[in-house]
Structure 1
Amino acid sequence: DFMFFVNTEQLIYNQEINESSSEIDLVIVVQVHNRLIYLKELINSLAAAANINRTLLIFSHDVYDKDINEAVQSIQFARVMQIFYPFSIQTHPDEFPGPDSDDCQPSEQPKPNCPNIHFKDTYGNFRNAIVAQLKHHWWWKINFVFNRIRALKDYFGLVLLLEEDHYVAEDFIHCLKLMENYSRESCPECWFFSLARLKMRDDHSGSNDVIIRSSVENLGLAFNRNVWYEILRLANDFCKFDDYNWDWTLRQMASKIMKPTPSSMIMAHDRIAHIGSCGTHSGNKTCDASAIIKKFKEAQVNLFPKFLNTRREDFSYNIRNNGGWKDPRDHALCIGMT
Structure 2
Amino acid sequence: MRLRRLHKLAIAITCLLMYTMYRVTNDDNDGNQDGGVAGGANAGADHSLNVAKPVQPVKPNKGQSEEHPRVKKQDAVVIGVNHNVKEVKQSGPEVLPANPVKVRTNRTGEAERIRQAILDVNSKEEVRNLARFPTRSNASVVILVMVHKRLEYLRYLINSLRQVRDIGDALLIFSHDYYSEEINALIRTVDFCQTMQIFYPYLLQIYEKEFPGEDPGDCPRDMKRDRAKEIKCNNWEHPDKYGHYREVRFVMTKHHWFWKLQHVFGGLSATKNHKGLVLLIEEDHYMTPDAYYMLQKMYELKGSKCSECDIFTLGTYEKSRRYKDRGNTVDVLQFYSSRHNMGMALDRSTWDRLQPCVKEFCNYDDYNWDWTLQHVSLTCLKPSLSVIVPKAPRIFHIGECGIHHKGKCNAAELVKQLDSVVASSSDYLFPESLTMTPLTRALYRKMPKPNGGWGDVRDHSLCMAYGQTDATKARS
Pairing 1:292–2:414 present? yes
Query: Where does residue 252 of structure 1 map in the other structure?
Result: 375
Matched AA of 1:306 = E
CA distance in 2, matches of 1:122, 1:176: 39
1:232 counterpart SS class: helix
Matched AA of 2:277 = L
Query: How many equivalent residue pairs?
Result: 335
Pairing 1:89–2:204 present? yes
Distance 1:177 1:67, change over 3 A: same
2:270 counterpart SS class: helix
CA distance in 2, matches of 1:113, 1:263: 45
Match for residue 330 of structure 1 among 459, 465, 475: 459
Query: Where does residue 385 of structure 2 map in the other structure?
Result: 262
Query: Where does residue 117 of structure 2 map in the other structure?
Result: 2
Pairing 1:195–2:317 present? no
Query: Where does residue 3 of structure 2 map in the other structure?
Result: none
Distance 1:167 1:317, change over 3 A: farther
8 Å Cα contact 1:254/1:262 also seen in 2? yes
1:219 counterpart SS class: coil
Higher strand share: 1
CA distance in 2, matches of 1:252, 1:198: 20
8 Å Cα contact 1:215/1:316 also seen in 2? no
Larger radius of gyration between Structure 1 and Structure 2? 2
CA distance in 1, matches of 2:280, 2:319: 18
Matched AA of 2:429 = L
Displacement after TM superposition at 1:316 (Å)? 4.4
Pairing 1:210–2:338 present? no
1:151 counterpart SS class: coil
Same amino acid, percent of matched pairs: 37
Matched AA of 1:82 = Q
More displaced 10-residue stretch of structure 1: 227-236 or 56-65 = 227-236
Pairing 1:43–2:172 present? no
1:179-216 deviations in whole A, cap 9, x for unaligned? Answer: 10011111111110000123443566611121110114
More displaced 10-residue stretch of structure 1: 183-192 or 208-217 = 208-217
Distance 1:81 1:202, change over 3 A: closer
8 Å Cα contact 1:275/1:288 also seen in 2? no
Aligned-CA RMSD value: 2.0
Displacement after TM superposition at 1:221 (Å)? 0.5
Please show how residues 111-260 of structure 1 align to structure 2 within 5 Å: 111=228, 112-202=231-321, 206-216=326-336, 217-260=340-383
Displacement after TM superposition at 1:107 (Å)? 5.2
1:53-83 deviations in whole A, cap 9, x for unaligned? Answer: 1100000001110100001111111111000
Matched AA of 1:214 = Q
Please show how residues 18-29 of structure 1 align to structure 2 within 5 Å: 18=133, 21-23=135-137, 25-29=140-144
Displacement after TM superposition at 1:114 (Å)? 1.1
More displaced 10-residue stretch of structure 1: 235-244 or 197-206 = 197-206
8 Å Cα contact 1:62/1:90 also seen in 2? no
Query: Where does residue 435 of structure 2 map in the other structure?
Result: 309
Task: Structure 1 unaligned segments of length 5 or more: list them.
Answer: none
CA distance in 2, matches of 1:58, 1:125: 35
More displaced 10-residue stretch of structure 1: 126-135 or 296-305 = 296-305
